[in-house]
A and B are shown apart, each in its own frame.
Chain A
Amino acid sequence: MNTPTPVPNEARQGSIACVGMGITLGSHLTPLARNHIETADVVFAALSDHVVQLWLERLNPDVRSLQSYYRPGKSRMKTYREWVDVMMSEVRAGKRVCSVFYGHPGIFAWSPHKVIEVARAEGYQAHMEPGVSAEDCLYADLGIDPGRVGCQHLEASQLLFFERNLDTTSHVILWQLGVVGDRSLGRFRTPDAYRELLVERLYQDYPADHEVTVYRAPTLPVEGPHIQRMALRDFPAAEFTGQETLVLPPAHALKPNAIMRARLDELDAVYGTGAEPAVPA
């Protein structure tokens, strides 16, 4: 059997894996993500809870928080590009890099997707591992099956910046409520008046008394989910930390598509309905 020639450390090519921490400490970190963290040469972290970061720092001797790049008034786009740069610096130095983001690394996160794109373009190994996201927690905690009538997820600000159409026969879930309406990307929180404007926009599709849920998943395992149910009109007055999500259940029933159903009848006439034949007596 041939013994492979050992590759000198200097010649080792860099790589990056973007993984998710999940939402709740201790509950959501996958075995694979944990192994990425433990075996990395350097770990970059963008987490949602300082306690979680303190625990992460015990998994690897070189954990570097990305929090310090945020600044009030500084465009977060600049921050995200800096994150990519600092991660790529280590990849280009030949390091095995792991970046850890809270929840799922690819959901409502620009830098993980970008750094993978850049790294691959430069010929480095780069990939993303899925994580348990706040969306996953929401389904479990609120008893929502997104497959039942569908689920439309939007960044809340998009509803104000663009003429988006909402499908009110499905669930509609609005994220990033804390910075809704901010176009500067330099604020960490917009005033309540911006959430009032969001409600005004929602009145185009929902009645004011439509029951909605304001939800926040727990980051510490000694806490439960934060769930507030209220009429849409009362949303601006909800308890709000900036990490909440607005869940709007369907406002209308599904409307049968008569044309497509007639076309399905034609296909069934040719291929059979798929129903089991009756058992003869």
Chain B
Amino acid sequence: MDQGKNMRDTVELLEAIGRDAKLRHASPEELARALEAEKASAGLRELVASGDSAALTEELGLVQMHVEHQSQTGGHEGDGHDDHHHHHHDDDKDKDDKPKKQPDDRGKDTPST
């Protein structure tokens, strides 16, 4: 499929740029010329030209990733590492036998993701 071929090329091209000392810090003009020479996808060229990632997102079917990998220590969750262990009713596997404490702020906002 043509889209699949573009997708492979775009991802591989980005990785190649990342390990190329010249291209990684190239000026926008130099980068644009390099992308032209590599026949980069329209989405990638648009990202470089304007900073707009919409076309690239559509091209590759990108989704937003969650980046939180740790519990905020001191919150109403026991993470097994700090001295402030709290049991959350959602965490049945918590092995700490410290007093139960329910979060008092369930948060009503819908995540932006």
Contacts and interface: CB of A to CB of B under 8 A. Distances in A.
Interface of A: 24-27, 46-51, 53-55, 58, 67, 70, 72-78, 80-81, 101-102, 108-111, 113-114, 155, 157-158, 161-162, 176, 178-179, 182-191, 220-223, 242-243
B75 A157 contact: yes
A222 B14 contact: yes
Contacts of B104: 183
Interface of B: 7, 11-12, 14-20, 23-24, 31, 44, 47-48, 51, 56, 60, 62-81, 88, 90-91, 93, 103-107, 109-113
A54 B11 contact: yes
Contact of A111 (B69, B103, B110): B69
A190 B75 CA distance: 14
Contacts of B31: 222
Contacts of B23: 221
Contact of A155 (B14, B56, B70, B88): B70
B14 A26 contact: yes
A81 B91 contact: yes
Interface of A is mostly: loop
A51 B74 contact: no
A114 B68 contact: no
B75 A48 contact: no
Given A77-B79, A155-B73, A189-B112, 5 more contacts: A26-B18, A185-B76, A187-B109, A188-B113, A242-B112
B10 to A, nearest CB: 8
B15 A50 contact: no
Contacts of A25: 14-15, 18
A135 to B, nearest CB: 14
B68 A188 contact: yes
Contacts of B16: 26
B49 to A, nearest CB: 10
A245 to B, nearest CB: 12
A161 B80 contact: no
Nearest to A155: B72
Contacts of B68: 76, 176, 178-179, 188
Given A186-B106, A188-B112, A76 B48 contact: no
Nearest to A189: B112
Given A108-B69, A110-B70, A185-B72, A221 B17 contact: yes
